[in-house]
Amino acid sequence: MKLDEECKSCLYNSQMKKVERSCTDGAKLEEFRARVRELCADPPADYCAPLLMRDIDAAHRAVFGSGIDYSAEKRMFNSAVLAMEEELFSRICAAADPLAEAIKYAAAANYIDFAKLSDLGADSLETVRQAAMRTVPNSDTLALLKSRLSVASSLLYVHDNCGEVVFDKILIRVIKRLYPAVNVVSLVRGGEIINDATRVDAAFIGLGKYVRVEDSGEAIPGTYLKELPAHILSLFKESDVIISKGLGNLETLYGEGYDIFYIFMCKCEHIARRFSHALWSTAFVHEGGAK
């Protein structure tokens, strides 16, 4: 998906707020602000939001010597959701439709996004809970996913943010409980970028107990197919089922010809319009593919 004007403004505002809170060097802050303003004013015509975010992070590295640091936020959210994992997993498994229930929470958890919202705190988990309670997964998409999983042997799960990744872990556990023949590969980011999940985060939450963890090789808050290593790209071509989480993955994968189930929250006006959903509602959509 090509870069929308809303994306430029959103990324500029959210990342500047984050840096302004921690920066004590006024000259460097102004230099960073100027660089980000220039990046947002004139990005390449074929850009998408995740590529612009990579450039913003690179600008921070050039000015401050390191990327924008979200390590504290990542630890906080991963730890907070881990503390509720077993209770939530048990409650989901006891539901009338455990798969639908797990998808509700995974979709709602896409709210935990520091590219869009720079001031998230632990109380955001209550927002996630309320959004999950309002969510009703699309019945046709759910039926199709169940049908695919019933005959599948492989699932590629493309992750997004920290905190959210623990809800993904719960969904994966539910899938493996319901469809034990399915082998799952989890794809995380290849480097630190915003609050996106990496191999370090996957190890912290114990994801490897249930899946094989791979990384994209990219420090991009999305999955940019043109830069994926060959062995990762082959997962998209060979997996029986693909689940993609979040807007960054949607913006880099949608329309690229792959058969993918997308789970996300419509946090942007242009995304809400594109899928005919209300702003801040959750979405569960399927895109058929030819590859």
Evaluate if residue 229 carries a pLDDT over 80: yes
Evaluate if residue 118 carries a pLDDT over 70: no
> Would you state the pLDDT for residue 66?
93
Mean pLDDT of the chain: 93
Closest CA to 222 of 54, 29, 46, 102: 54
User: Which residues face 241 on adjacent strands?
Assistant: 155
Answer whether 168's CB lies under 8 Å from 245's CB: yes
**CATH fold group of domain 71-287:** Rossmann fold (3.40.50)
Assign 3 a pLDDT band (cuts: 50, 70, 90): confident
Sign of CA dihedral 8, 11, 14, 18: negative
Rounded to 5 degrees, φ, ψ at 266 are -80, 80
Evaluate if residue 96 carries a pLDDT over 80: yes
Phi-psi region of 158 (alpha: psi -120 to 50; beta: other; left: phi over 0): beta
State mean pLDDT over 263-270.
92
Assign 188 a pLDDT band (cuts: 50, 70, 90): very high
Break the chain into its structural domains and give their ranges: 5-64, 71-287
| Per-residue model confidence as pLDDT tens digits over 36-85 | 999 988 888 889 999 999 999 999 999 999 999 989 889 999 999 999 99
Separation CA 256–CA 281 (nearest Å): 24
